Amino acid sequence: MDDNIVGLVGDTKELVKVLTNESGCRVVTIWGMGGLGKTTLAKKIYHHRQVIDYFDHSAFVYVSQPCQKRKVWEDILSGFKTLNDEDRKKRDEDLAERLCNILEIKKCLVILDDIWTGEAWDSLKPAFPVARDRHSNSKILLTSRNKGIVSYADIRELRCLSEPESWELFQKIVFPQTGKIIGVEMKELGENMVKHYAGLPLAIVVLGGILATKNNSLNEWQKISDNVKSYLKKGKNQRPEDVLALSYDDLPPYLRPCFLYLSHFPEDYMIDVDRLIQLWGAEGIVSSKQEEREGGEIVEDVAESYLMELVERCMIQVRERDVATSKVKTIQMHDLMRDLCLSKAKQENFIFIVDRSNSSSLSMIQKVRRVSVHEFFFIQCIKSPNTRSLLFFNEFFPNEALEKYLPLEVLNYVEEHAKVWNPLFLILMISIVGTALLKSQGIWRYMFNNFKLLRVLNYEERTGDNLAAFKLPSDIGNLIHLRFLSLKDLEFLWKKLPSSLGNLRCLQTLDLRVANYKIHVPNVIWRMEQLRHLYLPDICKKKTKLKLGTLRKLLTLVNFNTKNCYMKDLINMTNLRELVINGPFNIENFNEKTLGENPSIIGSKYLHSLFILFSSINPRHLVHLLSSSLSICKLSITTARISKLPEYHYFSSHLAYIRLENCQLEEDPMPTLEKLTNLRILEFEETFRVNEMFCSAQGFSRLESLSLERLHNLEEWKVDE
């Protein structure tokens, strides 16, 4: 949180000057111990207006341990907004050369956060002109705990906070409204505690987060002060950051499993809050405080309040907020806090993590309840029928695994001749793909037949290779206790999902956004009456027709359209909060003459987000849809050809955010939109064909942000005084 940054003004000013100086050093390193604020300073520089204006492209990339060079290079290109599908297929050498060429020609800033070793930098060097003695217009900023990563870098050491700065930061965290301590005794206690932390910002922030929950109680402050002293007496080599354990010990019982669950995610992982809350609910870590009823508190609301408690305690870092509601969208963990989380999770046998430290030497894993897979391993190593959750964060069956089945010489030949199409190469490719499909099919079947108590099965595809199997085995119907199933980004050669999915009656979250262009979904989802979050494929086959009217608990419905679903089912979803329409949207038996006589489409009074994508929608059908959505605060319409917007009174009065992209409007939308009294954020991209736009003096009473992008036809913008 920028409001809570202390002591970095001088460092920021100096580094911005170095980076925007043509003759300045091409590589700069911010060096210091963990928790000093290296990432915070780098972020501040990355978002600095002078830096944004100076560079053509910029990218901020987290470097995990161990360093994955290809992922780093792809993340840089993605940050430049130049990564495409062809790049994902390139060999490492070609990808490095492409990035190197961009860095030579363009003026770019690359920030590599948290490089641990010189070996990591050596692996990344082929993509950087400055490391290859080639001319470069670009600059590189590294953060590291190791001073000597790059010998020719301009090294800037980040210092600890002074006592006044430490005290200022502490007060900002504990009293965010006033920034000032209350009472002489509290001040004395606070100052004594802060001194123990030796100017380490992370430790001070976490301590402040603990005390911020104590309601200004002097007795509670005294207890924390005593605990701080006892922690520091535990060992001669005790470091200030070791007292982070105090933040865990101070957690109430209901928050501890929520915090420990974060150990599932890899280092530097950007955690999607919606997905995290769904996982918490599926595992029973969070439950509703009262019996659900209309207007009552639901699991997702309770989970969100728990998440905010962890944020307020400074145990997790907010990375992104919703533009309309300011709700937290993504979070991340500081390395030191993640180390604490992993340590506590291991102590309590909360989870087994498969990573590079153990993926190649796993013995049979016994008595495992939760498994998080960061590196490929053979799932047959798990012999525990009581396994409750499996989360994958890697390729399902990567090429490295094929080395166990095919000679290395064969794989090397394929790598070298990938661009030469001949009969021998074709036979080899068929052999390799066939082997991969056969083995991955075996992995699926082993899971479905040996982990019948499974509650969570989640796959997060992190690379470009997403082939999963020939088909999804019908054995999946054995997992009758499953609460959460995500097949997102997986690809199956057999483009039909099994009807045995209908056996999964306990599912709360189902994500079917597979990578296939078109896939058939059998009409069995109506049997999953506990569903709360449903993500349908982006494109279903024509024969797919789903009845969803029984899903009365549904909160999220993504990729709904009237070709594959029934319009009338929306009226039964009385708890729906988010609706994404993707594809055709046509209302049957629609009364064109008298709009008011048409029955309501949306049955939920809680719908707050409506997204319309790639849709062919009749303008009058759009009017009726909007007039049925009286609670929405977010509206996005993308690639939906509509000649004109409905009159302003058809829009929800709660709308705070509107995005219109590639809508081909033939009339100026401003006279309509400026009448929306709560609209704060408005975004246009290739929105209208008109060449004139007009805004009146009385319009947009609360607008805070206006984004205009690629409005090629716009010639004149008239604004009243």
Per-domain residue ranges of the chain: 2-157, 163-249, 256-350, 583-721
Q: CATH topology for 2-157? A: Rossmann fold (3.40.50)
How high is the pLDDT of residue 422?
56
* Distance of alpha carbon 298 from alpha carbon 397, whole angstroms: 38
CB 552 within 8 A of CB 576: no
Token representation of residue 216: 């200004």
Strand partners, 354: 373
* Distance of alpha carbon 28 from alpha carbon 26, whole angstroms: 7
Q: What are phi and psi of 618, to 5 degrees?
A: -65, 130
CB 338 within 8 A of CB 266: no
In sequence order, the 6+-apart residues with CB closer than 8 A to the CB of 314 are 173, 205, 206, 208, 209, 247
Measured at the CA of 580, the angle between CA 528 and CA 632, to 5 degrees, comes to 110
Instruction: Count CB-CB contacts under 10 A for residue 303.
Output: 23
How high is the pLDDT of residue 132?
81
Instruction: State pTM to two decimals.
Output: 0.87
CB 354 within 8 A of CB 286: no
Q: What are phi and psi of 301, to 5 degrees?
A: -70, -40
Q: Please tell me whether residue 682 adopts helix, strand or coil conformation.
A: strand
> 163-249 domain in CATH 1.10.238?
no
How high is the pLDDT of residue 293?
43
Would you give the DSSP letter of residue 463? S
Strand partners, 336: none
* Distance of alpha carbon 185 from alpha carbon 183, whole angstroms: 6
Give the type of residue at 39. Answer: T
CB 648 within 8 A of CB 622: no
Place of tokens 């709660």: 654
CB 644 within 8 A of CB 667: yes
* Distance of alpha carbon 136 from alpha carbon 381, whole angstroms: 49
pLDDT beneath 50: ranges in the chain: 1, 290-294, 406, 411, 464
Place of tokens 């050093």: 25
- 433 class by beta-carbon count within 10 Å (0-12 exposed, 13-18 middle, 19+ buried): middle
> 256-350 domain in CATH 1.25.40?
no
